[in-house]
Structure 1
Amino acid sequence: MTDVINPLDNKLKKTAYSTETIHTMTRPLLQEGRPLMEEAGKAAATTAALMLSMADIEVSHSQVVILAGSGGNGCNGLFAGARLASMGAKVIALATGHCLQPKAVEEFTGAGGNIVPLSREASIPRFPSPQTASQEQDKLQQAVKLTQSCDLIIDAMTGIGQHGSLHAIPEKLAEQIKGQIENQTTAMLSADPWHQHRPLVEAIDVPSGVGVDDGTVPGAYIPADVTVCFGALKPCCLLPPAAYACGNIVLVDFKFDISHAPVAVEAMDTHSCASLIRKAKFSDNKYTRGVVGLVTGSEQYPGAAVLSSCAAANSGAGMVRYIGPERPSNAVLSALPEAVLGEGKVQAWVLGSGVSTAIASKQTDQQRTIISRILAAHGDFTKSGMDENQKHDSCRPMVIDAGALDMLPLRQLPSHVVLTPHTGELASLLASMGETVTASDISSKPLYWARRACDLTGATILLKGGITIVISPRNNGDPKIFTTGFGPAWLATAGSGDVLAGIEGALLASQSEILASDPSQIGLVTASAAFLHGIAASLASHSQQRAWRLPLLMDTRSIEDFTHEAKQAWSYEYRVGRNSATPLGHPIHASELVNSLKDAQELLLALPYLHIERPSEQVHVDKQVQTEDTNNRPISDRSRTETEQQNLPLEASSQEHTQAFLGIDPLWF
């Protein structure tokens, strides 16, 4: 039987909450006397045992080092260590702070664990601390050697109470461990992380050294293979660059009441994206499906015009209207003969891709002149004599990319204007507004600077990256923040941004009526386009690589179910696919992205028709086992009845695409 997926479970796996909100949701459980630390320890130990199993190490033969801080996270680590010690593991806790909770110490040592205080200021009964600076240094060197020789490190140094960078002993340990892992990872070519380096690292709640609420990495930190997150995701689990340090995420469900909790960050997933792919209706015409107007490309960069126009067409637009000089116009017509040249009615604009900036333009640029005129009128209601129809036309959703980013009018823009810079372009935009910032600064604090751009311009900001951030303003309260990390690193290729701009334009045009009635949806639509971009790249490259994955949900009352699900999912994550010799896939170019967009949408549109089960039901195993019927058509899901197979309105080719994708990443479904 297929499990019924609880909508709140799905929400829990893709939404993150601030530290303050987490404390608020935790408080009632503590007042009820719920033993959350013991539950956290059980979850962490279960995950640790699974990690060792993935690396072909028996728990009873393993050596585990716990980095135990003074706070609640250190207690969680000790409770986990006690369980591992009772399973036969040799477990040593390195006390990095001044003290440890007596109950956790008693539990840990009673199971056979040993504690080594590292600080001269530590006061842990029965365990002597170093007395001099020299002794403290010797202890630290011994601790580093222990971390180098063990099988697993449980990082429980800091938790959600940590602010700023690490200092003193935690900082020194983090620097040594991170350097060791990076050196081994660079030197080895193993196909999966479970055999790529030693030790493996499990982070308790959050990796030590990351900015919990802002996603920064202000100093030394410890990158994790798996982060076991308690109760709900923290913003650092979704936001770059901290999210890269979290590795795979296991989310332990404490049954928080999240129904009315304010969401700090939301990650896009397949179902949210699929809901915004416009389904064709028999009453449709080319205008109701959305008309995208593009002022992209130039005499110097005609390819950008082709890529953005074809991407818009392949993303479901009913009509593509292109405006530009002769060379890119001819190129667009050659690649997309149904495109219409010249100005006219549109539901959304795409401006600037492949257009030179003011600095790069050595002479008057026709495209810049057209863009300036469109921007000057867009959303400006101050002009006298403008009737309601003219106001409506001047409020079309708009994507402003690349060469158009330095042409913004000197006034607040409406939220349905979407700016799509990379870090360098955002640095230039902010500099023009009086901010002193570099691309490197933005990479270090992408949330802060994207939000700053949103505040200064009033527009929705899409900051491109391995994990893309989308920030859209709200009339009341903080802006809505979305992230999407779906897609391989192969997306970093010339023309990829032009394709994204075309996708954005198509989705904005197709959802223009919804956006007109509910402008707050602009962030969701914008993030969906970026997610679709990632799916197309995954299909084109046959890559299993992702910058971010949905977490696995653990219920501590059903450990066996979780273990089975996690082992299957993590095994699939690094399995070589049918169409590639490596989980990384292969390089792609932008035109391949365009060609994969139709397949990507077909996959999303197919979701309601597929009998999708959770990984615990071995859906990805069943879908990979194929037989043939009398017509030599593949039948992949043996759990379906014959009638269901016959009624499935998908051609064999569509099933193959969907099966391949499900096989690549079952966690997204």
Structure 2
Amino acid sequence: MQAFTVEQVRRMERAAMGPEDDGTLMQRAAAGLAAVVVEALRTRVDRVYGARVLVLVGPGNNGGDALWAGARLARRGVRVDAVGVLGTPHAEGLAALLAAGGRRLERAQLSALGAYDLALDGILGIGGRPGLPDDVADLVDRLADADVPVVAVDLPSGVAADTGAVPGAAVTAAVTVTFGVVKVGHLLEPARSRTGRLVLVDIGLDTSAEEPELDAWDAARVAAAWPWPAPQSDKYAKGVVGVDCGSETYPGAGIMATYGAVHGGAGMVRFLGPESAQTVITTNLPDVVFAPGRVQAHLLGSGWGDRADGTQAVADAVASEVPGVLDADGLRYRPETMPGTWLLTPHAGELARLLGVERSEVEDDPLAAVRAGVGRTGATVLLKGATQLVARPGTRTVELAVPGPAWTGRAGSGDTLGGLCAAVLAAGRPAHEAAVLGASLQAVTAAAHPGPLPPHALAERCADQLGAWWQEGRR
């Protein structure tokens, strides 16, 4: 799934409309929106005729889409009430609704909101500023309290279309009907959680002239791209991962990183971390070896703490011309520039320190931040978190891993993720694919096994998920 910015959408709309806007795009949008609402009404109340829909109307084309859709619904026997909550309603759309039998109400006339079967959010479109005025937010809250599901028009009002930020009050939609293309804010947290089920309506936009802002992977694509071993593959063909993670103070980081590499499918794992971790690894993962030797990918950094030879260890690994993953404490010891074959895996705080900015700046615009990380380091960067973004040198489009549940947000998950990514890197895949595949595998596995599993236990389930994908691919 590809997503685009507001500026890109505007260019595509202008190209589709030509020199004059004859309303064709709005009518296509309204028709698609009305069809989704009809489906939602049948699901919720098992009828269309006689159902009640409230349209929250803002200014401009977003409100126009909602009003024209309301007119189509009214012609099918839906009792449609429209209330203006911001600005001046779209004149032609309002006239069409009234002509079809819909009503225009003032906010003071709204009383029993629970009598409505559904509400349409036509308050703000992709050009609106994020956040809602207090009085509008109060009305949105009242609808939620009355358990009235909301269908958002193009995107939930109050969210930032290009960053996914939700700096103030915003609509939480059960369904969002978007037109032409998916917008960036639909796919990035926290706006993603406000979007609900996303439905894309084709209105005839041509995307061929635009480079997507986001490229979002799904589980099927991950399974298809996984580096499955061939029948003749030996352990070196599958890839050997050298793990130098953990310390005497933090031995668990090395253990969990090793779990990730083993259960991510590495042909062999060489553990070069602290002796205190070796007993646990030997007991639970007896296939791991503890001697230096040839590797196809390095994994460094997590659990190092303050390490006197950290700078030299990273420099030596980079100089080996073997790709690698650099995580956590290891980021402090990186050289000024690194090859794009290396993958850095910071969370928001670590990326903020790398860029010399506040954490909030990274969280408010993660796309800009992950690109800045690539520009600063030369490496491929995976920004970990609720939304996991991967940027690489020479490519503007940022890749988005499959999202997962919040269960993975706990100590040690990043260590096992580093191991999963290193296993894919060792199998010969480029750094950006290693990042997307590793992060997606962890997310899909967590979704299939909900609950607070420790990271190393979740890593074990990753092997089960890979097995399930492989079996499905053979059918």
Distance in 2 of aligned mates of 1:533 and 1:279: 17
Aligned to 2:353: 428
User: Secondary structure of 2:237's partner?
Assistant: coil
Correspondence 1:407 to 2:407: no
Q: Counterparts in 2 of 1:109-258, with a 5 A limit?
A: 109-116=98-105, 140=107, 142=109, 145=111, 150-162=116-128, 164-166=129-131, 171-180=133-142, 184=145, 198-258=147-207
Distance 1:154 1:309 in 2: 50
Q: 1:29 to 1:605 in 2, by over 3 A?
A: same
Q: Alignment partner of 2:233: what SS?
A: coil
Could you list the per-position Cα deviations for residues 591-643 of structure 1 after superposition, in whole angstroms to 9, with x for gaps in the alignment? Answer: 32122112211233234334xxxxxxxxxxxxxxxxxxxxxxxxxxxxxxxxx
Deviation at 1:77, TM superposition (A): 0.2
**Matches of 2:220 and 2:14, distance apart in 1:** 32
Greater mean deviation of Cα atoms: 491-500 or 227-236: 491-500
Distance in 2 (CA, whole Å) between partners of 1:414 and 1:80 is 52
- 1: distance between equivalents of 2:31 and 2:445? 39
For residues 129-148 of structure 1, the C-alpha deviation after alignment (integer angstroms, 9 at most, x for no partner) is: xxxxxxxxxx55555x5656
Instruction: Work out the CA distance in 1 between the residues paired with 2:442 and 2:48.
Output: 41
Q: TM-score under structure 2 normalisation?
A: 0.91
**2:459 alignment partner, one of 577, 588, 594:** 594
Q: Distance in 1 between matches of 2:259 and 2:353?
A: 29
The gaps in structure 2 that reach 5 residues or longer are none
- C-alpha distance in structure 1 between counterparts of 2:136 and 2:222, whole Å: 38
Aligned residue in 2 for 1:63: 52
CA 1:174–1:56 in 2, change beyond 3 Å: closer, same or farther? same
Instruction: Find the aligned partners of 1:256 and 1:455 in 2 and give their Cα distance.
Output: 32
> Is the Cα contact below 8 Å between 2:114 and 2:143 reproduced in 1?
no
Query: Partners in 2 of 1:417 and 1:465 — Cα distance?
Result: 20
2:316 counterpart of 1:377: yes
Farther off after superposition, 49-58 or 198-207: 49-58
After TM superposition, give the deviation of residue 255 of structure 1 in Å. 4.3
- Note if contact 2:63-2:122 (Cα within 8 Å) is conserved in structure 1: yes
The one-letter code of the counterpart of 2:432 is G
- Secondary structure at the aligned position of 1:275 is classed as helix
* Most deviating of 206-215 and 34-43: 34-43
- CA 1:98/1:424 → structure 2, altered by over 3 Å: closer, same or farther? closer
The one of 78, 87, 91 aligned to 2:80? 91
Task: Report what 1:578 is aligned to.
Answer: none
Distance 1:19 1:607, change over 3 A: farther
SS in 1 for 2:449: helix
CA shift for structure 1 position 415: 2.2
- The TM-score normalised by the length of structure 1 is 0.66
Percent of aligned pairs with the same residue?
34
Pairing 1:344-383 to 2, within 5 Å after superposition: 344-356=293-305, 358=306, 368-369=307-308, 371-379=310-318
Q: 1:457 to 1:146 in 2, by over 3 A?
A: farther
Local SS of the residue matching 2:42: helix
Q: 1:40 aligns with which of 29, 36, 41?
A: 29
Equivalent position to 2:373, from 422, 442, 453: 453
Once the two structures are superposed, the pairs formed by residues 574-593 of structure 1 within 5 Å of their partners are 586-593=451-458
Q: Work out the number of aligned pairs and report it.
A: 473
Is 1:481 the counterpart of 2:398 in the alignment? yes
Cα separation, partners in 2 of 1:180 and 1:495, compared to 1, 3 Å: farther
In structure 1, the residue matched to 2:264 is: 315
Aligned residue in 1 for 2:425: 508
Q: 2:94 is paired with a residue of what secondary structure?
A: helix
Q: Please say if residues 85 and 136 of structure 2, whose CA atoms lie closer than 8 Å, have aligned partners that are also in contact.
A: no
Cα distance change, pair 34–171 in 1 and its aligned pair in 2 (3 A): closer
The whole-number CA distance in structure 1 between the counterparts of 2:186 and 2:322 is 34
Q: Which residue identity is paired with 2:218?
A: D
Distance 2:36 2:73 in 1: 11
Distance 1:598 1:378, change over 3 A: closer
**Aligned residues of 1:68 and 1:157 also touching (Cα < 8 A):** yes
Residue 561 of structure 1: aligned partner? none
Pick from 63, 82, 87 the counterpart of residue 74 of structure 1.
63
Distance 2:348 2:108 in 1: 39
Per-residue CA distance 1:382-420 (angstroms, 9 max, x = gap): xxxxxxxxx6x3x322212222122222x1222222222
SS of residue paired to 2:45: coil
Question: In structure 2, do the counterparts of structure 1 residues 181 and 104 end up closer, same or farther at CA, with 3 Å as the change threshold?
Answer: closer
Kept in 2: contact 1:277–1:605 (CA 8 A): no
Cα shift at 1:42: 1.8
Q: Shift of residue 51 of structure 1? A: 2.3
Evaluate the alpha carbon distance shift between residue 444 and residue 150 of structure 1 in structure 2; reply closer, same or farther with a 3 A threshold. Answer: farther
- Distance verdict in 2 for CA 1:399–1:181, change over 3 Å: farther
AA aligned opposite 2:367: L
User: How far, CA to CA, are the matches of 1:19 and 1:96 in structure 2?
Assistant: 23
AA in 1 matched with 2:407: W
Distance in structure 1 (CA, Å) of the matches to 2:136 and 2:369: 27
Aligned-pair CA distance for 1:311: 1.7
Separation (CA, whole Å) in 1 of partners of 2:140 and 2:309: 51
> Measured at CA, do residues 377 and 296 of structure 1 come closer, stay the same or move farther in structure 2, by a change above 3 Å?
closer
Q: Which amino acid aligns with 1:600?
A: Q
CA distance in 2 between counterparts of 1:178 and 1:420 reads 38
Deviations 1:34-92 (A, max 9, x none): 82222211211221222233333633343322122221111110111112222332212
Is the Cα contact below 8 Å between 2:327 and 2:346 reproduced in 1? Answer: yes
Matches within 5 A, 1:483-562: 483-512=400-429, 515=430, 522-541=431-450
Alignment match, 2:474: 609
- Once the two structures are TM-superposed, the CA of residue 250 in structure 1 deviates from its matched residue by 0.4
Q: Is the 8 A contact 2:422 2:434 kept in 1?
A: no
The one-letter amino acid paired with 1:373 is Q
Distance in structure 2 (CA, Å) of the matches to 1:176 and 1:457: 45
Q: What is the SS of the residue equivalent to 2:161?
A: coil
Do the aligned partners of 2:29 and 2:203 also contact (CA within 8 Å) in 1? no
Aligned to 1:653: none
How many Å apart are 1:248 and its aligned residue? 0.8
- Distance in 2 (alpha carbons) for counterparts of 1:355 and 1:178: 48
Residue of structure 1 in register with 2:383 after alignment: 463
Runs of 5+ consecutive residues of structure 1 not aligned to the other structure: 1-13, 117-138, 185-196, 359-367, 380-390, 516-521, 542-585, 611-669
Q: Distance in 2 between matches of 1:147 and 1:472?
A: 49
Paired residue type of 2:368: Y
Q: 1:532 to 1:58 in 2, by over 3 A?
A: same
**1:286 alignment counterpart:** 235
For the pair 1:443 / 2:363, whether they are aligned, the reply is yes
SS at match of 2:265: coil
Q: How far does residue 534 in structure 1 lie from its aligned partner after superposition?
A: 1.0
Task: Determine if the alignment matches structure 1 residue 417 to structure 2 residue 322.
Answer: no
**Whole-angstrom CA distance in 2 between matches of 1:146 and 1:341:** 70
Note the C-alpha offset of 1:345.
1.7
- Is 1:269 matched up with 2:231? no
Query: CA 1:43–1:469 in 2, change beyond 3 Å: closer, same or farther?
Result: same
Contact 1:278-1:316 within 8 A present in 2 as well: no
* Residue type at the aligned position of 1:219: G
Within 5 Å, give how 1:306-345 maps onto structure 2.
306-345=255-294
Q: Secondary structure at the match of 1:65?
A: strand
CA contact (8 A) 2:113 2:142 kept: no
